[in-house]
Structure 1
């Protein structure tokens, strides 16, 4: 491994965004919005960071709007299933996609993602961002990224990630394939919650995902952190020591 691997740019992380199906033409408002319940279709399973952001935002908006915000989880295909559902929805603002940057990436990774981000959606907000983290089972004989790369050169390893096109997938591939030049194939999951369950159950030795759902597991010693993929790793390291 080159000595400057840790200083290379791998600072990509989850960002959660809201998007609406795009109306074919501007419409004159007939009533105040919202006048009925709004549905948030979340592209990843319950228990993960995208779901948590959707629920926090949904509760806040529900109180502000005095209308219900319904959370519907539609995981699968790196977020494509939820995106397809919203692309076909009535473009009236009552069906909202909550997803990650995989929404923009996936159409370039597959011949038919089933939706067109540029023409079928209107972005609402970027709701939150978080760095990614590389974590491992305690049974893996590696305590940092250097140890991990050395282990990958002498044994067959794979890592779990929360779907193709997600930033954990892309950042891990950059580390392993582009920078370290080692073959560590990805194992896709539908989201962070099933991915962490597999890691805790010993089904996979390694995972790359958004940091928030890993924090308490790391602090309690159930899994170990190998690398924080951020341009401010020292600040995040200090947080784990609190």
Structure 2
């Protein structure tokens, strides 16, 4: 199995004052450093991915179809295939970034050639997930326009197989100003501890502001219920990152 966290180029995208950052995009420059970026930016990211694979077992069976939606470089896809190889899963990894998909194809070429993994470059709001037993949205929904999020979740739930489920992970914000300040400052401290400078932290925050629009934990849970999921279980929190399992 290809390693999901193999060493990539060190992330220095926001280190130079010579480059004026625009809105954050998942282009070639980001794809090249993404593995380093995500592990130095999201606390407990490796644990989050591994735990997603563990919880996925609740919804899987022999020959099950799984969708990794907003797959980036395929960390969740690789974790699922590695842990459940005995089940003969079909994993479909979907992302709308051609740069991410191209790099995923290189990293997980063996799984693609072996037929366990299909890779698609598609708009997540239009992808057909019919037949799925497992849906994963790992730090993905926050990049979907807020007005499209409920409709997307409803469509995903409607096409889910009986006994199937959804695993959702998101960065959240708190409606409590003190809690928001505490977690935001701790998150910045995590980035400093992993080698990011104040300049890099500030410039990346500015680049993300218009493209990553966050909800509160309560909004996520309410939306999942409004989409038709009767069971919504929070199972992970590390600073301002949370995850839920949802099923009918």
TM-score, normalized by length of structure 1? 0.32
Q: Higher helix proportion, which one?
A: 2
Q: Higher strand proportion, which one?
A: 1
